Amino acid sequence: MPLTIVVTAKQVLDPETPPSALQIDPSRKRMVGPANVPPVVNGFDENAVEAALRIKDALGASNVKITVLSAGKSFVLDVIKKPLAMGADELVLVQDDACENLDAFQTARVLAAAIKSMGTVDLVLCGRQASDWDQAQVPLAIAEFLGLPCVHITRKVEVKDGTVVVERVVPDGAEVIQVPLPAVITVSNELGQPRYPTLRGIMASTRKQPIIRKLADLGLNPADLKPKVELLDLYIPVRQKKCEFISGDNDEEKGRNLARRLREAKLI
Amino acid sequence: MPGVLVFAELADGGLASISKELFSAGRPLAQALGEPLCTFIPAEKGGEVAKEAGALGADRVYVAEHPLLREPHPDYHLIALERAVQQVRPSVVLLGKTPLGINVGPRLAFRLGVGVAQDVVALKIEGDALIAERPVYGGNAMARVALREKPFVATVRPKAFEPLDPTPGRTAPVQAIPVAIEPAAVKVKVLERKKVEATGIRLEDARVVVGGGRGLGGPEPFQQLEELARLLGGAVGASRAVCDAGWLPYQYQIGLTGKTITADLYIAVAISGASQHMAGVSTVKNIVAINKDADAPIFQEARFGVVGDWKKVLPAFTDEVRKLLQQ
Ligand SMILES: Cc1cc2nc3c(=O)[nH]c(=O)nc-3n(C[C@H](O)[C@H](O)[C@H](O)COP(=O)(O)OP(=O)(O)OC[C@H]3O[C@@H](n4cnc5c(N)ncnc54)[C@H](O)[C@@H]3O)c2cc1C
Q: CB–CB of A154/A134 below 8 Å? A: no
Q: CB–CB of B280/B261 below 8 Å? A: yes
Fold of A3-224: Rossmann fold (3.40.50)
pLDDT of residue A168: 98
Question: Which among A93, A132, A141, A127 is positioned nearest to A231, based on CA atoms?
Answer: A132
Mean pLDDT, range B171-178, rounded to an integer: 96
Clarify whether residues B30 and B127 are in a common domain.
Answer: yes
Q: Does residue B195 belong to any structural domain of this protein?
A: no
Cis peptide before A182 (omega within 30 of 0): yes
Clarify whether residues B275 and B150 are in a common domain.
Answer: no
Q: Does residue B109 belong to any structural domain of this protein?
A: yes
pLDDT of residue B129: 98
pLDDT of residue B154: 98
Clarify whether residues B22 and B130 are in a common domain.
Answer: yes
Q: Does A36 touch chain B (CB under 8 A)?
A: no
Q: What's the total number of domains in chain B?
A: 2
A140 confidence band (pLDDT: 50, 70, 90):
very high
Clarify whether residues B59 and B154 are in a common domain.
Answer: yes
Q: What is the pLDDT of residues A180-191, one digit of tens each?
A: 999 999 999 999
Q: Does residue B190 belong to any structural domain of this protein?
A: no
CB–CB of B309 and A232 under 8 A?
A: no
Q: Does residue B227 belong to any structural domain of this protein?
A: yes
For B314, nearest residue in chain A (alpha carbons): A255
pLDDT of residue B69: 96
CB–CB of A243 and B188 under 8 A?
A: no
- Number of H helices and E strands in chain B, helices first, is 8, 18
Q: Does residue B191 belong to any structural domain of this protein?
A: no
How far is it, in rounded angstroms, from Cα A173 to Cα B319? 35
pLDDT of residue B26: 98
Per DSSP, B163 falls in state P
Beta bridge partners of B6: B39, B94
Mutation probe of ligand 1 site: the residue of B291, B298, B300 with most atoms within 8 A of C-beta: B291
CB neighbours of residue B105 within 10 Å: 28
Per DSSP, A5 falls in state E
Nearest CA to ligand 1 atom 37: B215
* Distance (Å) from the alpha carbon of A68 to chain B's nearest alpha carbon: 24
Cβ contacts of B192 on chain A, cutoff 8 Å: 175-176
CB-nearest to A259 from B119, B276, B324 is B324
The CATH number linked to B152 is 3.40.50.620
Please provide the average confidence, as pLDDT, over all residues in chain A.
96
Cis peptide before A39 (omega within 30 of 0): no
Among the residues of B3-100, which ranges form H helices? 17-33, 47-55, 74-88
pLDDT of residue B294: 97
A1 confidence band (pLDDT: 50, 70, 90):
confident
Q: What size, in residues, is chain A? A: 268
How far is residue B62 from each of residues B37, B38, B46, measured CA to CA in Å?
11, 7, 9
Q: Phi, psi (5° rounding) for residue A140?
A: -65, -35
Q: CB–CB of B246/B272 below 8 Å? A: no
Question: Which among B62, B66, B10, B64 is positioned nearest to B39, based on CA atoms?
Answer: B62
pLDDT of residue B47: 86
CB-nearest to B309 from A176, A234, A251 is A251
Interface of B with A in 181-200 (CB under 8 A): 187-196, 198
How far is it, in rounded angstroms, from Cα B213 to Cα B217? 8
Domain range for B257: 203-326
B322 confidence band (pLDDT: 50, 70, 90):
very high
Mean pLDDT, range A153-167, rounded to an integer: 97
pLDDT of residue A247: 97
Q: CB–CB of A132/B137 below 8 Å? A: yes
Clarify whether residues B20 and B125 are in a common domain.
Answer: yes
Clarify whether residues B275 and B174 are in a common domain.
Answer: no
Clarify whether residues B118 and B220 are in a common domain.
Answer: no
Clarify whether residues B279 and B155 are in a common domain.
Answer: no
B200 confidence band (pLDDT: 50, 70, 90):
confident
The CATH number linked to B281 is 3.40.50.1220
Mutation probe of ligand 1 site: the residue of B140, B209, B214 with most atoms within 8 A of C-beta: B214
Please provide the average confidence, as pLDDT, over all residues in chain B.
96
Clarify whether residues B8 and B143 are in a common domain.
Answer: yes
How far is residue A157 from each of residues A128, A136, A188, measured CA to CA in Å?
13, 19, 11
How far is it, in rounded angstroms, from Cα B132 to Cα B146? 6
CA of A252 to the centre of ligand 1 (A): 24
β-bridge pairing A244-245 and B174-176: unpaired
Q: CB–CB of A98/A225 below 8 Å? A: yes
Q: Does residue B269 belong to any structural domain of this protein?
A: yes
Question: For A62-71, B115-124, B162-171, which range has the lowest pLDDT when averaged over its residues?
Answer: B162-171
Ligand 1 atom closest to Cα of residue A43: 53
Question: Which among B214, B203, B209, B204 is positioned nearest to B296, based on CA atoms?
Answer: B214
Mean pLDDT, range B289-304, rounded to an integer: 96
Clarify whether residues B179 and B217 are in a common domain.
Answer: no
| pLDDT for B327 beyond 90 | no
Q: What is the pLDDT of residues A109-128, one digit of tens each?
A: 999 999 999 999 999 999 99
Q: What is the pLDDT of residues A35-46, one digit of tens each?
A: 999 999 999 999
| pLDDT for B182 beyond 90 | yes
Clarify whether residues B89 and B147 are in a common domain.
Answer: yes
Measured torsion, CA atoms of residues B112, B117, B122, B124, in degrees rounded to the nearest 10: -40
CB–CB of B142 and A256 under 8 A?
A: no
pLDDT of residue A239: 76
Clarify whether residues B277 and B155 are in a common domain.
Answer: no
How far is it, in rounded angstroms, from Cα B139 to Cα B151? 27
Cα Dmax for chain B:
64
User: Strand, helix or coil at B31?
Assistant: helix
* Distance (Å) from the alpha carbon of B264 to chain A's nearest alpha carbon: 8
How far is it, in rounded angstroms, from Cα B50 to Cα B60? 9
Q: What is the pLDDT of residues A229-268, one digit of tens each?
A: 999 999 999 877 789 999 999 999 999 999 999 999 999 9
